[in-house]
Copies of this chain bind each other. A is one copy, B any other.
Amino acid sequence: MSALLTDLYELTMAAGYFEAGKAEEKATFELTIRRLPARRNYVLAAGIPQVVEYLLNLSFTAEEVEYLRGLAQFRNVSPAFFDYLRGLRFTGDLFAVPEGTPLFAGEPLLIVRAPVVEAQIPETYVLSAVTFPSLIASKAARCVEVAGGRPVVEFGTRRAHTPEAGVLGARAAYLGGCAGTSNTLAGFRYGIPVMGTAAHSWVMSFPSEAEAFRQLRKVLGESTVQLIDTYDTLEGARRAAQTGRPMWGVRLDSGDFSVLSRQVRAILDEAGLTDAKIMVSGDLDEYRIRDLVNAGAPIDAFGVGTEIATSADAPAMGAIYKMVELDIQGIKRYTAKFSEGKISVPGAKQIFREGPRDVIARSGECGNGEALLRPVILGGRLVEPLPSLEEARRRAVVSVAKLSPALRQLEVAEPRAVVYSRELRMLVERTRRNLLA
């Protein structure tokens, strides 16, 4: 994992900390959800394994260090710093909320505590590695919520921001409750159920649709899903019905699904194929799924691409990675920023999930309810194996089910109560007085 995959300012600051004799100071940084993404009532934490992999493998190659040394910004930096970089490893601690946990605005998702250079450099990578899958998992959970038990399959790698983002997006979508993915590498790598049968090109490659359907059934048997909208959907449905069993069912990829699904259902039933299923795909999102379900459309499964793979209506999240305290030879200094509209809260924290509200307390405080931030890496070593993807997915399902109905609906609801403990409020006040004195 190249430590160069970071913003240059993390590295100029690293040089500065080193040159200012601060390399031994231990810093605590928190990754906090400043604002929920647009239209979201919660965010599902995800991406922790990618953060762990990154931190445990953080290092510079000799060639990368040479590259830095050649940059104008490093002209005044002493050779000792580059030696230091060559030997750099992550020796600190990571605390994180387990994957699949719903979080709310103002809550820290993870905490990194390490010598200041080791804690500063990861900022860029960690923010991206965590916010992207958290967005995707949250979007998937919304689609699954309104599908009312019908499977939602993630089909979006072609729209993902790089193919590899498609693999990690498929993982996140599964974590958020999707039944599977079209991404084969995600299946291979993470054991996620993979789904898919044929595209329009399959149908187009044969002289007739009927021939294409027969050939597909021959290869796929009971897995066969006939794609019936290449030329004319209802004609396609009749041909699929004629082709008959074995088949799982048919897929519609265009048109008015509410109308077409009923017509196709009638055609299949008429042919005695009452167990053949109907899947729909194409420009779906949680709102369209809800409308189709509410309209009673006889649809058995939804394939969702762009909207899940890019979290298209909220493709970014206002998360920050801020220094909250510094330990200078055993003396703590609490840090915060008070920029207009962009305030950060000092001191390492804990979140207690206490019935209908969350209490953000200082780390080490006693609290009621489940403490969400758990040690993951201590002293540069993994504390225990991470929860499996299946466990994270179960945690997501169970935790979302426990949220109030208002928070689970698609519309923006009154936010869940997130309050600071008395001790934390006192620390904020003290820090503000000290810093703005």
Contacts and interface: CB of A to CB of B under 8 A. Distances in A.
A162 B161 contact: yes
B73 A223 contact: yes
A184 B10 CA distance: 10
A329 interface: no
Given A2-B185, A162-B165, A124 B7 contact: no
A8 B187 contact: yes
B340 A9 contact: no
Contacts of A131: 158-159
A337 B228 CA distance: 11
A30 to B, nearest CB: 11
Contacts of A10: 196, 199
A131, A182, A184, A233 — most chain B CB neighbours (10 Å): A184
Contacts of A200: 322-323, 337, 339, 344
Contacts of A232: 338, 436
B120 A336 contact: no
Contacts of A322: 200-201, 204
Interface of A: 2, 4-13, 15-17, 19-20, 22, 25, 27, 29, 64, 67-68, 71-73, 75-77, 116, 120, 123-125, 127-129, 131-132, 155, 157-169, 182-185, 187-188, 194-207, 215-216, 218-221, 223, 229-233, 253-255, 282, 306, 309-312, 315-317, 321-323, 326, 333, 335-342, 344, 435-436
28 contacts: A5-B185, A7-B158, A9-B199, A12-B196, A12-B220, A13-B199, A16-B219, A17-B205, A29-B201, A67-B187, A73-B223, A75-B221, A76-B219, A76-B220, A116-B205, A124-B183, A127-B158, A128-B165, A160-B161, A161-B161, A162-B168, A200-B337, A200-B344, A205-B326, A229-B340, A230-B338, A231-B436, A254-B341
